[in-house]
């Protein structure tokens, strides 16, 4: 196993030593300099482990959540402080693409190396830049527009058991946004079954709205850390 000392000599970085691995929750000690909250830590080897720092436990130990499986990671393993947060690509080139939490394309159609890469944690826009008037967003679905209209720029929740039609309704709204409002849609799937996104992707392709949609997914087979961060990644793209 490589030690912190070996790695310090090999890389120009800030290596830390894993002190606790509790499933996806990793504590790492950085004797040199403690990484900031929301910093990305990576493994120096090919294991591909990526951790986001979420708390400072003491003056040299951080607690983070892994976005990847942590098999093989043990006490004494080395993680490098990259000094930067997780970022995702942004821009129009993502339209029609399907991404994972790291902003990598997973639709088998090549890379989407484009646009500005933005950190997934950002300050909210200042209050004075927000629109204060409220306006109805017409969805074109009569029962929603009449009984429970949506606010433009607002948030709406849709709750229901499995198989009652939530995804079908969302697909219909994506369709109307593209066709009627000439807008774009971002679909973020968190903890869904793999086949659900696959079906949605094919359905959107068939109805011709895929070119105006971005899908970003972290599904039920992915670690909790990835599912935790994918919503932030989707908002950043939005
Ligand atoms: N408005 C509807 N009219 C007829 N069938 C529907 C309607 N909405 C949903 N369904 C049927 O129910 C199934 C499950 O819907 P879905 O939206 O996938 O459920 P979930 O709420 O779990 O996302 C769909 O495959 C479709 O066959
Ligand atoms: Mg569904």
pLDDT for the residue 11: 56
Going from the Cα of 173 to the center of ligand 1, the distance in angstroms, rounded, reads: 14
pLDDT at 111 over 60: yes
DSSP the chain: ---HHHHHHHSSSEEEEEEEEETTEEEEE-SS-PPPTT-EEE-SSTT--EEEEEEE-SSSEEEEEESS--TT--TT-EEEE-SS--EEE-SGGGTT-EE-TTS-B-SSS-----S-EEES--PPPPGGGS--S--EE--S-HHHHHHSPEETT--------TTSSHHHHHHHHHHHHHHTS---EEEEEES--HHHHHHHHHHHHHHT-GGGEEEEEE-TTS-HHHHHHHHHHHHHH-
Domain map of the chain by residue range?
4-81, 87-237
**Pick the catalytic residue: 84, 193, 198, 205?**
193
Going from the Cα of 139 to the center of ligand 2, the distance in angstroms, rounded, reads: 19
**pTM here?**
0.86
Index of the ligand 1 atom closest to the CA of residue 161: 21
Instruction: Decide if 4-81 and 87-237 have a common fold.
Output: no
The answer as to CATH 3.40.50.10440 being correct for domain 87-237 is no
109 given a catalytic annotation: no
pLDDT for the residue 105: 92
What digits encode the pLDDT tens for the residues 125-168?
Answer: 898 988 888 899 888 899 999 999 999 888 899 999 988 999 88
Percent of the chain having pLDDT more than 70?
A: 95
pLDDT for the residue 12: 61
Fold observed for domain 4-81:
Thrombin, subunit H (2.40.10)
């Amino acid at each position: 196993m490589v030690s912190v000392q070996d790695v310090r000599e090999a890389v120009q970085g800030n290596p830390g030593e894993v002190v606790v691995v509790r499933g996806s929750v990793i504590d790492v000690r950085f004797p040199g300099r403690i990484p900031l909250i929301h910093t990305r830590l990576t493994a120096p080897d090919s294991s591909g482990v990526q951790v986001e720092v979420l708390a400072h436990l003491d003056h040299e130990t951080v607690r983070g959540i892994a976005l990847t499986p942590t098999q093989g990671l043990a006490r004494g393993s080395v993680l490098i402080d990259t000094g930067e947060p997780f970022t995702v690509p942004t821009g129009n080139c993502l339209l029609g693409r399907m991404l994972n939490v790291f902003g990598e394309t997973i639709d088998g159609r090549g890379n989407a190396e484009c646009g500005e890469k933005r950190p997934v944690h950002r300050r909210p826009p200042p209050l004075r830049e927000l629109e204060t008037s409220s306006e109805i967003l017409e969805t074109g679905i009569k029962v929603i527009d009449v009984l429970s209209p949506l606010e433009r720029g607002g948030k709406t929740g849709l709750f229901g058991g499995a198989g009652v039609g939530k995804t079908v309704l969302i697909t219909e709204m994506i369709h109307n946004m593209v066709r009627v409002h000439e807008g774009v849609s971002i679909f973020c799937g968190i903890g869904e079954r793999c086949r659900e996104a696959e079906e949605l992707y094919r359905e959107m392709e068939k109805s011709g709205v895929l070119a105006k949609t971005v899908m970003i997914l972290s599904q039920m087979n992915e670690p909790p850390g990835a599912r935790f961060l994918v919503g932030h990644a989707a908002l950043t793209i939005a």
